[in-house]
Amino acid sequence: MSTQRVFVGRLAGCPVFDPAGDRLGKVRDVVIVYRSSGAPRVIGLVLEIPGRRQVFVSIGRVTSIAQGQVITTGLINVRRFQPRADERRIIAEIIGRRVDMRDGSGQATIEDVGIEPNRLGEWAIGQLFLRRPRTGGSPFSKGPTTFASWSQVREQKAPGEAQSAEQLAQTYAELRPADLANTLLDLPDERRIEVVAELSDERLADALEEMPEEEQVQILEAIGDERAADVLDAMDPDDAADVLAELGDERSEELLQMMEPEEADDVRLILRYGADTAGGLMTTEPIILPADATIAEALALIRRHELHPALAASVFVTLPPYETPTGRYLGAVHFQRMLRYPPHERIGAILDDSIDPVLGEAPGAEVARRLASYDLVSMPVVDSAHHLLGVVTVDDILDSLLPDDWRSHDEDEPIATMTGTIRTVGG
């Protein structure tokens, strides 16, 4: 076992391997228990394994924590982690707490926690990274930082009482949307809503798009109509349509009335079609350009960092207007084809009109067959007058083909290199 001190903030997200070098997952948190005296003892790690499931690994099964990775014995429990009454998670519950300095020098906030083993190999909290209150200067400046041992501080809250939701939300700032969604779903219901209140509308929208629709509905109902409408505005129209379809016609229309008119119109267009049709699966925000636009202009739009990779693979050429539903659809220009021509070339000159679009009423299975047959990542969707309505991307099709519970997976599903051994606190 490595004997160096490890700060949990840096440990979060580190890959976890078995002795053969196969990756098992990544670290999401560290679990501790309080003791009557001395620093809290580390009893294990919370890992995220394939299927976005969080599981517990006893610290006794960890053989090394060093160089940005964790090595285990390879035998871990695949049951979803649920903290027991006496267990606390450092990231979810300890980081962000306010403490009093026992020397009388004032207060501080825990920004990170260092854990380390003793000579017997037992891991415990060894050092705290603290931030003192700001003493002056710019209102945007932060207070000074310092280190302290656990014995040098006194918690202001009772053991197990959660830290501020604002601080917890900040610890999730670097998580990708799918990871943030999974982390939120693992929080208790009340705590989840507290953290959701601290997220921006755009950040929450990204996370909701990665959640099952039942959980999407629960969160939207909990945050109030005004904010729910703002979050729906920030979601992709097809994802917003999916969750609104779960709310019923009357409730759905109430929220649509509160949304921005342009965003609401896109969602209404999708809601006209069945959930398993091309129109129900499409996104209404592809890149649309006139035929006289240059390759340089098209590439500039593709470079936008917020654009989904599947949407960046092609631009779609229509007659005016250039917002969906557009004028008559003319064809598409694929990204690779644009790279073969000079930047000043007009995209209308290199148009690919060999791929016929699908009608909005076309079944999803037909779209999947066409995408596979022509090795495409997106398929244009038109109405009977050949106006472009949107595009169905390969990820939209995958979402429709996978089981409804694919995001969480079945608890009993076998996973390679892992076991279903009953979890014990000691190892």
pLDDT tens digits, 264-307: 999 999 999 988 899 999 999 999 999 999 999 999 999 887 78
> Among the residues of 103-224, which ranges form H helices?
165-171, 177-185, 189-196, 201-208, 213-222
Q: Which has the higher per-residue pLDDT, 261 or 79?
A: 261
Lowest-pLDDT range, 131-145, 190-204, 373-387?
A: 131-145
Average pLDDT over residues 232-246: 92
Q: Is the pTM of this model over 0.75?
A: no
Give the span between the Cα atoms of 148 and 104, in whole angstroms.
Answer: 13
Res 417: pLDDT: 42
Residue spans of the domains in the chain: they are: 6-87, 92-155, 168-271, 288-401
Question: Does domain 168-271 fall into CATH 1.25.60.10?
Answer: yes
Highest CATH level, class, for 288-401: alpha beta
> Would the pLDDT of 183 be above 90?
no
Helices H / strands E in the chain, number of each? 15, 19
Q: What are phi and psi of 361, to 5 degrees?
A: -85, -5
> Would the pLDDT of 408 be above 60?
no
Architecture of the domain made up of 6-87: Roll (2.30)
Question: Does domain 92-155 fall into CATH 2.40.10?
Answer: yes
Q: Which has the higher per-residue pLDDT, 29 or 1?
A: 29
Average pLDDT taken over every residue of the chain: 85
Give the N- to C-terminal CA distance of the chain in Å, as an integer.
15
Q: Which two tokens mark 167?
A: 């601080």
Average pLDDT over residues 163-172: 70
Instruction: Assess whether the region 6-87 and the region 288-401 belong to the same CATH fold.
Output: no
> Would the pLDDT of 4 be above 70?
yes
CB count, 10 Å around CB of 181? 23
Residue 93 contacts residue 31 (beta carbons within 8 Å): no
**H or E element: which one contains 46?**
strand 41-49
> Would the pLDDT of 413 be above 50?
no
Give the span between the Cα atoms of 20 and 158, in whole angstroms.
Answer: 43
| Rg of the chain, C-alpha, whole Å | 26
Average pLDDT over residues 205-211: 92
Res 426: pLDDT: 36
> Would the pLDDT of 76 be above 90?
no
Give the span between the Cα atoms of 292 and 313, in whole angstroms.
Answer: 19
> Would the pLDDT of 156 be above 60?
yes
Residue 307 contacts residue 334 (beta carbons within 8 Å): no
